[in-house]
């Protein structure tokens, strides 16, 4: 017996859970090698971007007040533009979350009378209020911006006929969500996003295409902006923050669009020129530097969990063998007890708040209680190991993250152990 095996027992794990983990980890060696290979490529991409932009420790300095001439902030935005292969980028702690970043991009481009199109079905929950799919104060709908949606076909394919019919003279912006989020549709590969963009631009060349890139960054060697997206948008407490960034979001894209986004974020005329960085520049760079390996750790955890749980008979989306294009894993546990046990296991394995017992609560906007587990360094950071699910049929847990593979593994074994003990 090796030392790690014994140490895992100190977390209260049963022999059975530890042995299952060892078995499936062994089986996943080849798969993990492929993930490491992508991580290495992306690590090189990040280092090259930092070198090409002559990153230096002067860029870690802080600014206050208006934040004029913050060369750290400007260099960070150039580094993002290099990585995403775009003309420019807006990367700011003043962007409060992913929804905010997406809202900035939408309202920067769209004007009264314009129409927004989602050709990949319903967007992420929080965007429904932003767009005005259901009435909401301040929504795009209130400003006279209309919305059209074309659902994916039952097999997950694009409804090209429907998309062609939906594009009209008012269509100004197309929004494509890369990750399935908390739906059951497949996550889109960057390659498929590229095919969809080509099709859309063949019908209406001038239309702007925005990709909601949340949870997708660094999962593949290319990003949507490499295949024609005019803007890629995401959150810094997810993949590209590498777990170190305390708050922020990014938009990488064409110069004319980034300029509009900056005018929307700050004020017309001010744009990118203002925005104090308050001491966070260094963590923005360092988190980005770590992000490719952090994403690899999260991916390994997701695949490890899918392998184990599907072999125990629990349906997993994605399953243990298919390709991955984001870091989210869903496991259908089938009972409230198991869902609560799973989340309890993730929480107990956390570095922070391991002694807390998660319970379901009536979260605003949900019809059933929702349980959440996260023992995070950064509040709400979902690149850190975290799990949640509504306590209702089919009792599916959604989990993601893991700053290191070893922590992701411990969390999953701990969740497994508690489910096995029921």
Ligand X SMILES: *Cc1c(COP(=O)(O)O)cnc(C)c1O
Question: Which CB sits closer to ligand X, 55 or 229?
Answer: 229
- Residue 179 interacts with ligand X (CB under 6 A): yes or no: yes
Span of 176-184, 219-227, 289-297, 305-313 interacting with ligand X by CB under 6 A: 176-184
First to last CA, the chain: 27
**What is the number of other CB atoms lying within 10 angstroms of the CB of residue 93?**
21
**In this chain, which of 75, 78, 118, 177 binds ligand X, going by CB under 6 A?**
177
Site string for ligand X, 203-242 (x = CB under 6 A): ---------x-xx-------------------x-------
Site for ligand X in 316-335 (CB under 6 A): none
- Angle at 55 (CA atoms; ends 84, 219), nearest 5 degrees: 30
- Neighbouring-strand partners of residue 361: 370
Distance CA 14, CA 215 (A): 32
Residue 59: CB minimum distance to ligand X, A: 26
Residue 17: CB minimum distance to ligand X, A: 29
- Residue 398 interacts with ligand X (CB under 6 A): yes or no: no
Span of 74-82, 166-174, 175-183, 187-195 interacting with ligand X by CB under 6 A: 175-183
Question: Which CB sits closer to ligand X, 72 or 318?
Answer: 318
Question: Which CB sits closer to ligand X, 124 or 325?
Answer: 124
Site string for ligand X, 116-155 (x = CB under 6 A): --------x-x-----------------------------
Residue 124: CB minimum distance to ligand X, A: 4
Residue 231: CB minimum distance to ligand X, A: 14
- Residue 287 interacts with ligand X (CB under 6 A): yes or no: no
Cα torsion angle, 167, 170, 173, 176, sign: negative
- Residue 293 interacts with ligand X (CB under 6 A): yes or no: no
Question: Which CB sits closer to ligand X, 78 or 189?
Answer: 189
Span of 95-103, 108-116, 274-282, 362-370 interacting with ligand X by CB under 6 A: 95-103
For residue 377, CA distances in Å to 312, 353, 383 come to 32, 10, 11
- Structural contact between residues 73 and 86, judged by C-beta atoms closer than 8 angstroms: no
Question: Which CB sits closer to ligand X, 8 or 176?
Answer: 176
Report which residue's Cβ sits closest to ligand X.
98
How many residues sit in the footprint of ligand X (CB under 6 A)?
12
Distance CA 197, CA 203 (A): 10
- Residue 99 interacts with ligand X (CB under 6 A): yes or no: yes
Residue 403: CB minimum distance to ligand X, A: 17
Question: Which CB sits closer to ligand X, 17 or 214?
Answer: 214
Residue 241: CB minimum distance to ligand X, A: 11
- Residue 98 interacts with ligand X (CB under 6 A): yes or no: yes
Residues that bind ligand X (CB under 6 A): 97-99, 124, 126, 177, 179, 181, 212, 214-215, 235
């Amino acid at each position: 017996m090796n030392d790690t095996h014994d140490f895992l027992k100190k977390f209260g794990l049963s022999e059975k859970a530890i042995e299952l983990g060892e078995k499936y980890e062994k089986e996943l060696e080849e798969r993990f090698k492929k993930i490491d290979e992508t991580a290495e490529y992306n690590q090189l991409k990040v280092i090259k971007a930092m070198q090409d932009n002559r990153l230096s420790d002067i860029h870690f300095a802080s600014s206050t007040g208006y934040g004029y001439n913050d060369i750290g902030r400007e260099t960070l935005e150039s580094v993002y533009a290099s990585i995403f292969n775009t003309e420019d980028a807006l990367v700011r702690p003043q962007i409060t979350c992913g929804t905010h970043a997406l809202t900035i991009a939408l309202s920067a481009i769209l004007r009264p009378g314009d129409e927004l199109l989602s050709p990949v079905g319903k967007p992420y929950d929080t965007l429904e209020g932003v767009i005005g799919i259901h009435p909401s104060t301040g929504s795009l709908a209130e400003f006279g911006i209309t919305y059209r949606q074309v659902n994916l076909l039952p097999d997950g394919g694009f409804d090209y006929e429907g998309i062609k019919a939906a594009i009209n003279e008012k269509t100004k912006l197309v929004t494509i969500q890369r990750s399935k989020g908390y739906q059951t549709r497949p996550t889109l590969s960057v390659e498929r996003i590229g095919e969809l963009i080509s099709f859309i631009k063949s019908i209406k060349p001038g239309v702007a295409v925005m990709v909601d890139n949340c949870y997708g960054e660094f999962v593949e060697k290319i990003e949507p902006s490499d295949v024609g997206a005019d803007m890629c948008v995401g959150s810094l407490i997810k993949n590209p923050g590498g777990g170190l960034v305390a708050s922020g979001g990014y938009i990488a894209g064409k110069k004319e669009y980034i300029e509009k986004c900056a005018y929307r974020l700050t004020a017309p005329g001010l744009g990118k020129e203002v925005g104090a960085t308050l001491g966070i520049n260094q963590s923005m760079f360092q988190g980005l530097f770590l992000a490719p390996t952090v994403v690899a750790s999260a991916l390994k955890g997701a695949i490890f969990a899918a392998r184990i749980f599907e072999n125990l008979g629990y349906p997993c989306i994605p399953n243990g063998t298919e390709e991955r294009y984001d870091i989210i894993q869903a496991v259908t546990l089938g009972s409230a007890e198991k869902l609560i046990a799973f989340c309890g296991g993730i929480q107990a394995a956390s570095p922070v708040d391991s002694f807390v017992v998660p319970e379901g609560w009536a979260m605003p906007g949900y019809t059933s209680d929702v349980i959440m587990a996260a023992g995070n360094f950064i509040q709400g950071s979902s690149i850190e190991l975290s799990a949640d699910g509504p306590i209702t049929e089919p009792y599916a847990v959604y989990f993601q993250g893991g700053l290191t593979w070893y922590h992701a593994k411990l969390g999953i074994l701990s969740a497994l152990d508690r489910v096995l003990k029921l």
